[in-house]
Structures are given as structure tokens and as C-alpha cells.
């Protein structure tokens, strides 16, 4: 759900100590354990569209899996539907909530312009947001705090989480993730939503590729970063229908 620290909180949500690679150097992220490579540390990807109902239909047609309605975000003007992409990874489909038209106007206006399924952000896993926050501070990342969040499901259960977005203000937040801890006893959404697809690849494109690579390395996130004229994300899923790409 981040573009600035406050935005990260709404979406569910320091200069980098690492040295940036030279302009044409390939990304070689620091990986401390075999199971942290690639997309293994992605908690969820966010896909936006102007209509949740139409988005669910488009996603079902493209992937062969129908996302299930998750709930609404009161005061933010949005609602979502979810589908699993692995044991601890899922896809959040997000769209304006017509029943909440007066609030969250900026986000509603942005999503209202998305006629196609559009990558809108991503989150990485955290088992302990406070401990991760302290680790990132020690590595020279920004002190943007730990933000608690919650929402009530359609079944009446309360989901609770904590997020951090440890990035300095002057970098390309549109392609950087926030980190999310699902606070016990909240179940991870991937365990309660429709299965069938897996996340095969996550690609980051940005004019500021060197800086973004360095920040992700410091956070031990190994994802593909490439230089582009404008910022964008691309998600690739392996589904019953085959390989599905979301984003240009």
C-alpha cells in the first residue's frame, strides 16, 4: 500500500550506507541466506484498477484464479480483494470504494484512472518490525518509525500489522517497498485466500537505478532493478493459465 512515510501507513501500509554501483554495473544484491534471494522475501504485491468488480473479473480471466473480497479501508476510499502467490506471499487488488467517495480523494482519483490492471506497489516480509527498524537504523537507513495498522474483515475478525518504510525522502519511493509484520495471532493473508498462482518475478524500473539498487542491497532485498526513463513496476506470475505479466 508507499510514496512517503505517511502514505506507507495509509496503504497498510538517511542516506544509504551502501556504496552505489557504477552507472552500468549489473545489480548484485547482497544475499545472506539462500532462501532470501529473488522474490522469496516479497510479502505482497499491489495491483490497482478503477473498479474492484471488473478487476476481479480481469484477474480471474488472466490467471484462472478468482481473488476473494478482502474488505474496505474506511476513510481512505479504497477496498481490496486478495489471492495467494505462495506460502507467505499474496496479491492485493485495490480499487476505489464507491461507498466512501468523500475520503481518500487523492488515492481514489489515482486509481480511478487505471482501466487496466496496474502495478501500484509492493511490500517485503518482516517477522519483527521493531527489530528490523533498529537494524536498518544501524545500517544508515532513514528513521521513519514503525506504524501500526489494522482492519476488520467481512467475517468480523480484526487483522493487525506493523509497517516500516526506511527510505530517505529524496529517492524514488514509487518503486521501493515497505516492510510489513503480521502481528500474532493475525494469520498471514496468503493462508486464507485462493491459491493457484505463484510470484515468478518482480522487476523495478527507475531513472535512479543506482540509488535504488544500493538501498535494496542495504535492506537485503534481491530483486531486479533496471534503468528506465520513468518509474514503473512489473510483476510476473505463474498461474493455471501460464505466465502472466502485469505491467509494461
Average pLDDT over residues 166-188: 96
Higher confidence at residue 231 or residue 8? Answer: 231
pLDDT (average), residues 25-32: 33
Q: Which pTM value belongs to this model?
A: 0.84
Longest dimension (CA), the chain: 51
pLDDT, one tens digit per residue, over 100-111 is 876 667 778 889
How large is the average pLDDT for residues 110-135? Answer: 96
pLDDT computed for residue 212 by the predictor = 97
Domains of the chain, with CATH numbers? 5-20+42-195 (3.10.180.10)
Highest mean pLDDT among 17-31, 105-119, 133-147: 133-147
Instruction: Read off the pLDDT of each residue in 51-58 and give the average, rounded to a whole number.
Output: 97
Q: Give the C-alpha separation, 128 to 89, whole Å.
A: 17
> pLDDT, tens digit, for every residue of 199-223?
999 999 999 999 999 999 999 999 9
The DSSP secondary structure of 103-138, one letter per residue, reads SSHHHHHHHHT--S-EEEEEEEE-S-HHHHHHHHHH
More confident residue, 196 or 152: 196
Q: Is the pLDDT of residue 23 over 90?
A: no
68 band by pLDDT with thresholds 50, 70 and 90: very high
The pLDDT of residue 104 is 62
Residue 163: which residues within 8 A CB-CB, separation 6 or more? Answer: 8, 9, 12, 13, 123, 129, 146, 147, 149, 178, 179, 180, 181
> Which pLDDT score is estimated for 106?
79
The more confident residue out of 35 and 145 is 145
Confidence of residue 151 (pLDDT cuts 50, 70, 90): confident
Amino acid at each position: 500500500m508507499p510514496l512517503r512515510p505517511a502514505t506507507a501507513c495509509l496503504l497498510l501500509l538517511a542516506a544509504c550506507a551502501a556504496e552505489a554501483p557504477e552507472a552500468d554495473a549489473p545489480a548484485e544484491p547482497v544475499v545472506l541466506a539462500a532462501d532470501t534471494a529473488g522474490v522469496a522475501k516479497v510479502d505482497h504485491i499491489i495491483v490497482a484498477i478503477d473498479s474492484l468488480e471488473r478487476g476481479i473479473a480481469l484477474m480471474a480471466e488472466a490467471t484462472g484464479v478468482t481473488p476473494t473480497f478482502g474488505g474496505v479501508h474506511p476513510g481512505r476510499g479504497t477496498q481490496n480483494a486478495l489471492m495467494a502467490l505462495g506460502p507467505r506471499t499474496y496479491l492485493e487488488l485495490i480499487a476505489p470504494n464507491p461507498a466512501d467517495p468523500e475520503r481518500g480523494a487523492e488515492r481514489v482519483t489515482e486509481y480511478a484512472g487505471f482501466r487496466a490492471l496496474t502495478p501500484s506497489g509492493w511490500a517485503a516480509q518482516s517477522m519483527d518490525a521493531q527489530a528490523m527498524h533498529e537494524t536498518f537504523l544501524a545500517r544508515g537507513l532513514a528513521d521513519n518509525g514503525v506504524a501500526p495498522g489494522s482492519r476488520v474483515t467481512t467475517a468480523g475478525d480484526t487483522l493487525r500489522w506493523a509497517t516500516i518504510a526506511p527510505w530517505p525522502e529524496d529517492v524514488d519511493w514509487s518503486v521501493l517497498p515497505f516492510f510489513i509484520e503480521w502481528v500474532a495471532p493475525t494469520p498471514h493473508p496468503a493462508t486464507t485466500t485462493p491459491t493457484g498462482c505463484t510470484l515468478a518475478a518482480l522487476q523495478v524500473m527507475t531513472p535512479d537505478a543506482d540509488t535504488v539498487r544500493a538501498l535494496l542491497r542495504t535492506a537485503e532485498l534481491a530483486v531486479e532493478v533496471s534503468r528506465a526513463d520513468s518509474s514503473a513496476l512489473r510483476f510476473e506470475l505463474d498461474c493455471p493459465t501460464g505466465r502472466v505479466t502485469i505491467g509494461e
